[in-house]
Chains A and B, each alone.
Chain A
Amino acid sequence: MSANPPASPPRTAEQMLREAITDPRELTRYLSYLDRIKSEGMGTSVMVAPLEAAINWARANSLWPLTFGLACCAIEMMAVGASRFDLDRFGAGAFRPTPRQADLMIVAGTVTHKMAPRVMRLYEQIPEPKFVMAMGACTIGGGPYVKHGYHVVKGIDRIVPVDIYVPGCPPRPEALLDALFKLQARIGSDRPLAARWSKRAENELTGSARP
């Protein structure tokens, strides 16, 4: 028996792939797919780096969330948009009522089986690039309802790929802001031009394999 490492390092896409896919033929196909994404990224990096930086900068600083609240956490989400915390300071305050114009889906609250198809559809309706924030314990893993909640989806990552997880029940508004910063940081390291179409692909590959 050995002591656990304090925090496991984030797994690479390849690792996740290997864990997720059992069929060897499928796996080879996906891995070659991944290689192509990577090589395209490498090949064009010198040329497009400044442009990519600009695009990333714009995306990170203009994350329009979808007006989409499910339960308790939605109230804290509203509080973040309100005067005291003022999400608008970071350019993310323009809550869009329609998924077509949104970039960020803050899934705030318990996702039930009845709601799950709608969440999936909303996610699909958001044009690329799209980001998903799982806010609150219920969204991340079923939360308090994980044991006896027969009607609760035990983790939103079973139905849509998640970019950032914000635990809490509900998380403080500051925690949500922190998560936003972390998301912005992650967007900053994206390769939007090299892998234009690849985000969805990679999500399909590495994230939760959606049924």
Chain B
Amino acid sequence: MESTAADIFLQRVLGAIWPGAQTMPAWLGYSVLLLLGAALIIGWMSLLALAWTYGERRIAGLIQVRLGPNRVGPQGILQPLADGIKLLVKEDVVPAVAYRFIYTLAPLIVFVGALLPFIVLPFSERLVISNIELGLYFVLAFEAIEVIGVLMAGWAPGSKWSLYGGMRLAAQMLSYEIPMGLCALVIIILTGSVNLGEIVAWQSRDAWFMEHPWIFGWAIFRSPAALLAFVMFYVGGLAATKRAPFDLPEAESELVAGYHTEYSGMRFAFFFMAEYASMYVICALATILFLGGWHAPIPRPELAADASLMEIWSRLAAAHGAAGTGVAGKFGAFGGSLIALLTDPGALKILLHQTFGVVNLLLKTFLLYFVMIWVRWTLPRLRIDQVMYLCLKVFLPFSVACVVWALIQVVMLG
């Protein structure tokens, strides 16, 4: 088996901190790794959800010429925390007619469905949990798991409103998936890859007969097909994340609260977090596919180095790890290697470069995030047949046209 970042991490880094890791059973090591990764993703998801519920309420407040939460903590930033704690300690109600098992499982599946794409979603060139070859394909596929979870949530509690919510999402999903996939196909055709890293790398290559195209290297500026595809992908993404004007599965004025009508407390919080996480996934994916990912619109110094941060870290950690004995010593060694890493000019260069990339990506992603919120607080909701009309009769032909255009462009321009 090729040695992956996971193996390097397990064998060298963990080994440097705790030499026993080298000899521990493999399954334990993998489990630790799994838990660590999951904790990271869940932490990031929660942070996103917390930050953006606050953000959304403040932005909505601004749009609606009011203030939004500003009392809990300075400027109200502790508001999501209060909401979170409250939901955590709220009584957990399971309706008597519910199928308990599926009822309990549904929010978890939705949550996991929202979580899975993070595995392959890069934050920057190197900062990705698993850079698999089929990254784009993976993200699109695992969006579907959430839908199954929502269907479960719709059916299990035995409430009619939930059921309608679930069925609406099923119908909606069958219509938005296809145009969204085709829009992604446009990028696959243009770049010739389904790897997210490669797609971004392609967007920094020479284009328009310029050596450093910067902003003009982004996919949306390279081809009009990509620009159109971006718009359709983004609108389809709104439908995928069940955001207004496509919030039919939870349409408040029609279906009470749709598929999560019967969910309370922490289970509801799972749905809530999943929504914000999948918003992030869609926005980040749109950024990566169409908006140049971690490439800045302005030129930046070429800081990229060949060595990966992990390599340097493991080298340093191994060097320090040998010295430590005893728990204190090991922690000392860990700290030492950390400091060494932070002062190593090579590592610093990489770090700076990666940080710049992360900031870029997040800025663009959050801009799209903001647009989602902006749209939500502006537009009325569509009707289910109109969603299908939009997706199947408007987006589908246009996305097919985009694919054809992209093919022609690739064949003609090479």
Determine if chain A interacts with chain B.
Answer: yes
Q: Which residues of A contact B (CB under 8 A)?
A: 54-55, 57-59, 61-62, 67, 82-84, 86, 88-91, 93-94, 96-98, 100-101, 103, 125, 127-129, 192
0 or 1 for each of B42-80: is its CB under 8 Å from A? (1 = yes): 000000000000000100010011111111100010110
Other-chain contact of A57, B65, B82, B252 (Cβ < 8 Å): B82
A89 touches B76 (CB 8 A): yes
B residues less than 8 Å from A103 (CB atoms):
86, 90
A127 touches B90 (CB 8 A): yes
Indicate if B257 sits at the interface (CB-CB under 8 A).
Answer: yes
What is the interface of chain A mostly: helix, strand, loop, or mixed? loop
Give A51 Cβ to nearest chain B Cβ, in Å: 10
Other-chain contact of A97, B64, B93, B256 (Cβ < 8 Å): B256
Given contacts A101-B264, A129-B91, contact A93 B256 (CB under 8 A): no
A100 touches B264 (CB 8 A): yes
For chain B, give the interface size range.
35 or more
A89 touches B257 (CB 8 A): no
A residues less than 8 Å from B86 (CB atoms):
58-59, 62, 103
CA distance A61 to B80 in the complex (A): 10
Given contacts A83-B64, A97-B257, 17 further A-B contacts (CB under 8 A): A55-B89, A58-B81, A58-B84, A58-B86, A82-B66, A86-B61, A89-B66, A89-B68, A91-B71, A91-B82, A93-B68, A98-B261, A100-B263, A101-B263, A101-B268, A127-B93, A128-B90
Give B274 Cβ to nearest chain A Cβ, in Å: 15
A88 touches B91 (CB 8 A): no
CA distance A88 to B66 in the complex (A): 9
Indicate if B83 sits at the interface (CB-CB under 8 A).
Answer: yes
Give A132 Cβ to nearest chain B Cβ, in Å: 15
For residue A67, which residue of chain B has the nearest CB? B252
A residues less than 8 Å from B256 (CB atoms):
97-98
B residues less than 8 Å from A61 (CB atoms):
71-72, 78-79, 82
Give B107 Cβ to nearest chain A Cβ, in Å: 13
0 or 1 for each of B344-378: is its CB under 8 Å from A? (1 = yes): 00000000000000000000000000000000000
B residues less than 8 Å from A127 (CB atoms):
90-93, 264-265
Give B402 Cβ to nearest chain A Cβ, in Å: 38
Given contacts A62-B79, A128-B90, contact A101 B67 (CB under 8 A): no
A residues less than 8 Å from B261 (CB atoms):
98, 100
A54 touches B90 (CB 8 A): no
Indicate if B304 sits at the interface (CB-CB under 8 A).
Answer: no
Give B176 Cβ to nearest chain A Cβ, in Å: 24
Indicate if B40 sits at the interface (CB-CB under 8 A).
Answer: no
CA distance A192 to B264 in the complex (A): 18
A89 touches B89 (CB 8 A): no
8 A Cβ contacts from B375-406 to A: none
For residue A82, which residue of chain B has the nearest CB? B66
B89 touches A192 (CB 8 A): yes
Give B397 Cβ to nearest chain A Cβ, in Å: 37
For residue B254, which residue of chain A has the nearest CB? A97
B85 touches A89 (CB 8 A): no
